[in-house]
Each structure stands twice: as structure tokens, then as C-alpha cells.
Amino acid sequence: MAADWVDLARDWVPRDIRRLIQRHVSLSGVKQRYFARRDPLAEVIESDPHQGKGGVRVGILRNRVQRHTAYIRACREMGVAFRVIDIARDDWLQQVTTSGCRLFLAWPDASLGPYARLFKDRCMLLEQALGLPVIPGAAETWMYEDKIRTSDWLRVHGIAHPRTWIFFDADEARRFAAECPLPIVFKTRFGAAATGVKILRRRAEVRRVVRRAFAAGHVPAGHDRRDREWGSLLLQEYLPELREWRMVRIGDSYFGHPKGRTGAFHSGSGRVDWDMPDVRHLDLLHALTERAGFHSMDVDLFELPDGRLLVNELQTVFGASVSIDQLRRDGRPGRMTRSPDGAWHFEAGDFARNACANERLRYALEVVCHEGTS
Ligand SMILES: Nc1ncnc2c1ncn2[C@@H]1O[C@H](COP(=O)(O)OP(=O)(O)O)[C@@H](O)[C@H]1O
Ligand SMILES: [Mg+2]
């Protein structure tokens, strides 16, 4: 009962007002309790004793906003034993070493800066120092919810992406702001559903954004006001007419669909289209993930009017509240698979269950079984 006012506020107070309030009050604790209350699996810490007996036991790394429960659902549906591990606690290492788990599933937590760093750091140690398989792996989570890392990664790998300028030096940023082309897009380093994205049309706005970036710092809309981004700045060329595709690879399943749009933004629009991706969208997804060794990756593509495809974002895990399926042909959900000669095949079926957690678990078990036999 205590926090029912949160449900009421979410139903009745417009989003812009809620965001305005959060510029003055930090509601992270309230939000965490809200997500825990709404998720019937929030308190589950291990599988029933009879489940998955004798097989591999999977460690599920707990996420502060309950995204890890998608893995609990996947384990239950697929009959796999599991234990939930809270790697944000002081005894995290002991939990890991005494868990009896040979494989770990992570839903990196980006809800707050400290958790985002902790998740990446400790998962990397599990994988690289202790040699434990964590899926998705450190290479895949490295750029998660971090637009500066993503942009740097795309740049060093020579992958076509929107022209992006990143500044850590205030004078360099100020000089750029005085003469950059307009409009220009400002993005906070962290941000989803377009909460940290602004299209700046006037030079005074660009100057203001630069000033703030190197003074008090920026906070994405609705984000915890203490989690300020200070001392860096990302600006991007404005692409007026674009179509956005969500392309996904999990294991050897491939998916894709265009994102719907409201106003200037696709992300967070709450809309989804079901056109099938072309071979060139799928080929790009395959080439990028294959080259980087990614087996759990959403590759968001911008398609320009001249047909060029630019990579905008790489997200190793992603919500699926709007697009429960990730690919549909003639109204039927399914996946694409690729044969060794490069041909693509549609297979109907429910391959995107639980925000793709089932597919990720299937791939993770394959990896461990393969290691066990090699
Ligand atoms: N360079 C750009 N030019 C024009 N529109 C953009 C540009 N970058 C992003 N957008 C629009 O803003 C939305 C959010 O941007 P994105 O980089 O995907 O951030 P996030 O999804 O993390 O909020 C996109 O879905 C797209 O509609
Ligand atoms: Mg996006």
C-alpha cells in the first residue's frame, strides 16, 4: 500500500511534469521499489529443487530494476536450474564462488551510473580473471548505454555511423560550437527512449549545452539528478530524413524491424512497424557481429534517403515492451537464419520470448556444452 501513490502518479501525472519534478527530487529508490513490487519474480532467488536436476546450473546476475527476471522466466520455461546472484553486494565474490554455477547470465544495469560501472567491472573480472563464461560477455557490454564508447568503437572499427564529435576539452568544444553546422544533435552519454537527445537549431542553444557540459553537467530527462554527466560532450550531425531499423542477433538467430516514429524521434515512440529487413540490413548485421564476435547484440541502423545504412547504437540487451516479437513476416513472428553460402531463411516461431532471454540462454548453454566437450 505504502507506495501506491507511485502507480497513481504514473497513471495521472503527465510524463513531462514527472520529469520536471525529478530535476529537483531524486526518485531512484522509489522507482526501484516500484519495479520490484510490480514484478512477481523480484524476490525469487533460486529454482525449485526438482528443476533442471543434474544439468548445468545458471547464475543470474540481479538487476536493480528487475530486468534479470526475464532470465528467470527463460530458465523456468526451459527447465534449467538457476540461482540469482546480487553482484552489487559486498559478498558478491563469495556468492559467485559458492553458487555452483558454471555459467552466468547478465542483464547489465544502466539505471544509475554507479551500477552501470559496477556491472561492467565485475562481469569483466568474472570473465577475464576467473575464466567464468558470462553472457553477454565483456566485449559486448563494454559500450552498453554509453554513447561515447559506442561512437569510439564504431570509429576505430571503420563502421559507417553518423558523423560524431566528442569533446573532453571545454575550449575545443567552444570553438566547435562557434562554427558547427546547424541544426546539430546533442546526446547525453547515457540515455534511452530519446531522454537525453536534443536537436539544437540555434547557435545560442549549442553554446548553452557546451557551457553546461563543462559546468554543472547534464542529466537525461527523468534520470536521477545526482547522476550528472560532467566534463564530456557528444554532438552529432543532424540527419533530417531517416528511417530507423532495430536489427538483432542472438546466437545464430537474426531479427529486424523498423522502429515507429512520433515527432522527431523513433526511440521511445512506443510504435513499431513490421516491414521485413532486406538482405543488406541482415548482411550488415551479420558482418558486424561476426567480425566483433558478438552473439547478443541489437544494432540500430539509420537508413538515409539515398539508401546508406549507418550504425547508430549497439545494445547487448534491450527492452521489448513494445516490440514483443523482433521480426514478423506476413504477420507471423519468426527469425532469420543464415546458411553457409550466405542465403537467408525465414523460420516461423516464437524466438524472441522474454525480451530474447530464452534465445540468449539457449546460446549460453550451447557455449558451455561445447566447452565441456572440446
Ligand atoms: N543524428 C541524428 N539525426 C536525426 N535524428 C536523430 C539523430 N540521432 C538520433 N535521432 C533520433 O533520436 C532518437 C533517439 O536517439 P538515439 O541515439 O537512438 O538515443 P536513445 O535511443 O538512446 O535515446 C532516434 O531514435 C532518432 O529518431
Ligand atoms: Mg536509440
pLDDT digits (tens, 9 = 90+) for 195-242: 889 999 999 999 999 999 999 999 988 888 899 999 999 999 999 999
Ligand 2: distance of its center to the CA of 179 in Å?
Answer: 27
pLDDT of amino acid 373: 52
What rounded mean pLDDT belongs to the chain?
92
Is the beta carbon of 192 within 6 A of some atom in ligand 1?
A: yes
Please report the DSSP string for 211-261 in residue order.
Answer: HHHTTT-B--TTS-TTS-B-S-EEEEE--SS-EEEEEEEETTEEEEEEBP-
Q: Ligand 1, residues 111, 246, 267: which to mutate, most atoms within 8 A of Cβ?
A: 267
The fold for domain 243-355 equals D-amino Acid Aminotransferase; Chain A, domain 1 (3.30.470)
- CATH fold of 163-237: Dna Ligase; domain 1 (3.30.1490)
Rounded distance from Cα 323 to ligand 2 centre (Å): 14
pLDDT, tens only, 37-72? 889 999 999 998 887 777 899 999 999 999 999 999
Helix axes of 203-213 and 170-179: crossing angle, nearest 10 degrees: 170
Give the model's pLDDT for residue 52. 76
Other Cβ atoms within 10 Å of 292 Cβ, number: 15
Report the atom number in ligand 1 closest to the C-alpha of 195: 23
Q: Which residues surround ligand 2, an ion (CB under 5 A)?
A: 267, 313
Give the pLDDT of residue 1.
46
What does the pLDDT read at residue 3? 55
**CA separation, residue 369 to residues 67, 362, 364, 374 (Å):** 26, 11, 9, 9
pLDDT at 2 > cutoff 80: no
CA atoms of 102 and 144, how far apart (whole Å): 24
User: What phi-psi label fits residue 179: left (phi over 0), alpha (psi between -120 and 50 degrees) or beta?
Assistant: alpha
Confidence of residue 372 (pLDDT cuts 50, 70, 90): low
Name the CATH topology of 39-138: Rossmann fold (3.40.50)
The C-alpha atoms of residue 132 and residue 177 are separated, in whole angstroms, by: 46
Residue of 247, 257, 266, 314 to test ligand 1 pocket, by largest number of atoms within 8 Å of CB: 266
Cβ of 47 closer than 6 Å to ligand 1, yes or no, is no
334 close to 161: Cβ distance less than 8 angstroms:
no
Cα 194 to averaged position of ligand 1 atoms, centre (Å):
6
> Is the model's pLDDT at 371 over the cut of 80?
no
The domain spans of the chain are 39-138, 163-237, 243-355
CA 144 to ligand 2 centroid distance, Å:
12
Query: Is residue 191 lining ligand 1, measured as CB closer than 6 Å?
Result: yes
Tens of pLDDT, residue by residue over 111-153, are 888 999 999 999 999 999 999 999 999 999 999 999 999 999 9
Closest CA relative to residue 54, chosen from 80, 84, 74, 76: 80
Closest alpha carbon to 87 in 42, 53, 57, 117: 117
Question: To which residue does cell 521489448 refer?
Answer: 320
| d(CA 332, ligand 2 centre) in Å | 25
Residue nearest to atom 26 of ligand 1 (CA): 265
Q: Can you tell me the mean pLDDT for 280-285?
A: 98
Per the model's pLDDT, the better-predicted residue between 12 and 56 turns out to be: 56
